[in-house]
Amino acid sequence: MTLAQEKTKENEKNISSADPSSTGISHPLEPLTPDEITAAVAIVKAQKSLAASVRFNTVTLKEPPKQTVLSFTPGDRIDREAFIILLDNATAKTYEAVVSLTQRQVKSWLHIPNVQPAIMLDEFIECEQAVKANLDFQAAIAKRGITDPDLVMVDPWSAGNYGIEEEAGLRLSRALCWVRANPTDHGYARPIEGVIPVVDLNKMEVIRVEDYGVIPLPPKDGNYTPEYIKHYRTDIKPLEIVQPEGPSFEVNDHEIRWQKWKIRIGFTPREGLVLYDVTYRDGDSERPIFYRASLAEMTVPYGDPQPHHYRKNAFDVGEYGIGSLANSLTLGCDCLGEIYYFDGFITNSRGEVAKIENAICLHEEDFGILWKHMDWRTEQTEVRRSRRLVISFIATVGNYEYGFYWYFYQDGTIQYEVKLTGVLSTAAVPPGEMPKYGTLVAPQLCAPIHQHIFNVRIDMAIDGTNNSVYEVDIVPEDDHQNPYGNAFYAKSTLLPTEKAAQRRIDPMKSRYWKIVNPSKTNEMGYPTAYKLMPGENTLPMATPNASVIHRAKYMSQHLWVTPYSADENFPAGNYPNQHPGGDGLPQWTQADRPIEDTDIVVWYTFAHSHSPRAEDWPVMPVATLGFKLKPLNFFNENPANDVPPSPKNHGSKKACCTLKS
């Protein structure tokens, strides 16, 4: 049997595993199983006769139409489809394929011209190898006293788009480099300043090595691992979280039920954790809040204008795939308590299934007081402890770690939080120089100023799919109705179209936005609503003519609202890698479509400006930012009134939260 015949037979075997009935799929939004991924890859390979030069960028579930999902009942037929992005290195062409796993065929095959898919993990490894083997690079580092390329660390950064003619059409990475003193040394302590290898990722060749002049390596290491830290604190006593009867949540495949919440989760290589069909049980009713939510994009622009630094910016969702960079989480370190883990399944660029074990963490945690009142007349005190459900994952993007956390509270509140940690991106400076666009975190070692800008896409469904959005400001009453000068009120302004809904925060007015179902009311006659409450935020510091602003115009507004469209998923467009800009939200909203009393998507942008400090080195303590979705006249009263008193932790089992002195 020839090699080609063996491959054909292998593909036929893999295709045979594509029948969903054999995989026990319980819901249309269940992520693709490893067998389904394998089958989808085999179907494309067999039916499109793919050359060895074709890479599989992503293989994900093609989500069924929303109405199909909303009308699904257990036992209904489930047609499974996969959405695949492919890159042919030989022709530099990108393709999108839709594969029916039910019918075992390629349903659609499209060439997408003039785009670059996200950089793949395999390319990271191959790029580093190509750089280290390049003679011009070896000569450049030799000028800096570095003789062993094996000790060099190469981080393949995206190249962006700066209108440079000779870069047009090439799939590029501008690699940043550091050197270790030994194999376990903290490499980011010693940047190889001014040396930028530029790599053609399709050919996996270094096309040039930019050299901006020799700057000495910083003299001090930044080691932080146990082999280097010899004196740890000795006054820390054990702190244990114990749930002797187990957690309060239930998991069925990827559906989670916790007290009154019902949540379905998914996982994609691009977005990481995805939440679907989030509802809260109110009496006998499962009341929907949103249909789908995920991190849709994040951009990290740096503020140093030097020739070898001005191109430093990254779109960690669209250019790398934050899900593909997810960690395998560890009990007792990343997650504490009674933990339930979900694995994530992606592919490498050859279409082989890769498992991210423990990619998503699910647990409960105590969160202090939920509510309390002491009636001094009756001398009775009522206190309830709050607990929250946590669904999270953590990704490592080169030097940085990002933790993404969804919190669900007993009172109907939903919170999204990003935790920033890891290692600062570093640069070397000459002895005695104090950098303007960064901070010295060690002698001759600078951490440049930068921002982290996130956008979360939320397909809202407050009590149903037809919603409207209002901007609410707390404002003083007009003088003629305010004789004592004390009057103020919450002023609501309808945002009727896409352009009207491009808004910014205003903390001086306590601004928030409420998502309302105009056809449903609570007992007092208020339309049922949730309010989006901003947390820490700012605007991008890059000027309007900056390349990164053209490519990520979503950063210019904190709020965007669009009518639902199945094809509008990413605020900087489907392919931001090396894209010149203008795609995504700025393009879609030019039509200024109506968004009142219709199926809408809310896009919220939030940013952290990071001016580094010495205390951020060698590993940065966690910084947090995010937002909340809080019920606003969604209920008739506090939905957490029925949370029972907590038992004492020690001794008598009598409740300790109902007290009378």
Kindly report the CATH number assigned to the domain that includes residue 103: 3.10.450.40
Peptide bond into 156 cis (omega under 30): no
Show the tokens assigned to 547. 């390349």
Q: Which amino acid makes up residue 52?
A: A
Helix spans in 79-203 (H): 121-133, 135-142
Shared-domain flag, residues 142 and 183: yes
Shared-domain flag, residues 309 and 368: yes
**Phi and psi of 595, rounded to 5°?**
-130, 15
| Residue pLDDT, tens place only, 333-386 | 898 889 999 999 999 999 999 999 999 999 999 999 999 999 999 999 999 999
Q: Give residue 283's region: left, alpha or beta (phi > 0; psi -120 to 50).
A: left
Tell whether 242 is covered by a domain: no
Judge whether residue 321 has pLDDT over 80.
Answer: yes
Buried b (16+ CB within 10 A) or exposed e, 483-515: eeeeeeeeeeebbbbbebbbbebeeeeebbbbb
Cα 195 to Cα 174: distance, rounded to the nearest angstrom? 10
Cα 438 to Cα 291: distance, rounded to the nearest angstrom? 42
Average pLDDT over residues 219-236: 94
Shared-domain flag, residues 76 and 170: no
Instruction: Place 467 in a pLDDT band, splitting at 50, 70 and 90.
Output: very high
Q: Give residue 483's region: left, alpha or beta (phi > 0; psi -120 to 50).
A: alpha
Predicted pLDDT at 646? 87
| Residue pLDDT, tens place only, 20-59 | 444 589 999 999 999 999 999 999 999 999 999 999 999 9
Tell whether 216 is covered by a domain: no
Best CA proximity match to 136, nearest among 190, 172, 175, 169: 175
Shared-domain flag, residues 359 and 264: yes
In the DSSP assignment, the letter for residue 318 is I
Instruction: Place 190 in a pLDDT band, splitting at 50, 70 and 90.
Output: very high
Q: Say how many C-beta atoms besides its own lie within 10 A of residue 653's C-beta.
A: 7
In which residue are the tokens 């009496």 written? 283
Terminal-to-terminal C-alpha distance of the chain: 88
From 90, 112, 134, the end of a domain falls on 112
Tell whether 34 is covered by a domain: yes
Tell whether 660 is covered by a domain: no
Judge whether residue 654 has pLDDT over 70.
Answer: no
Predicted pLDDT at 351? 98
Kindly report the CATH number assigned to the domain that includes residue 379: 2.70.98.20
Tell whether 361 is covered by a domain: yes
Predicted pLDDT at 21? 41
In the chain, the number of structural domains is: 3
| Residue pLDDT, tens place only, 598-610 | 999 999 999 999 9
Peptide bond into 618 cis (omega under 30): yes
Predicted pLDDT at 24? 84
Q: Which residues contact 619 (CB under 8 A, 6 or more apart)?
A: 224, 421, 422, 423
In the DSSP assignment, the letter for residue 259 is T
Tell whether 226 is covered by a domain: no
Question: For the whole prediction, is pTM greater than 0.85?
Answer: yes
Predicted pLDDT at 103? 97
Predicted pLDDT at 2? 43
Mean pLDDT of the chain: 95
Q: Give residue 567's region: left, alpha or beta (phi > 0; psi -120 to 50).
A: alpha
Q: Please say whether the beta carbons of 605 and 453 come within 8 A.
A: yes
Judge whether residue 413 has pLDDT over 60.
Answer: yes
Q: Which domain holds residue 184?
A: 121-211
Shared-domain flag, residues 205 and 352: no
Tell whether 500 is covered by a domain: yes
Instruction: Place 647 in a pLDDT band, splitting at 50, 70 and 90.
Output: confident
Shared-domain flag, residues 257 and 125: no
Cα 174 to Cα 391: distance, rounded to the nearest angstrom? 35
Residues with a known catalytic role? 316, 400
Cα 59 to Cα 346: distance, rounded to the nearest angstrom? 7
Shared-domain flag, residues 274 and 357: yes
Shared-domain flag, residues 265 and 285: yes
Predicted pLDDT at 660? 60
Lowest mean pLDDT among 107-111, 231-235, 437-441: 231-235
Q: Say how many C-beta atoms besides its own lie within 10 A of residue 214's C-beta.
A: 16
Instruction: Place 16 in a pLDDT band, splitting at 50, 70 and 90.
Output: low
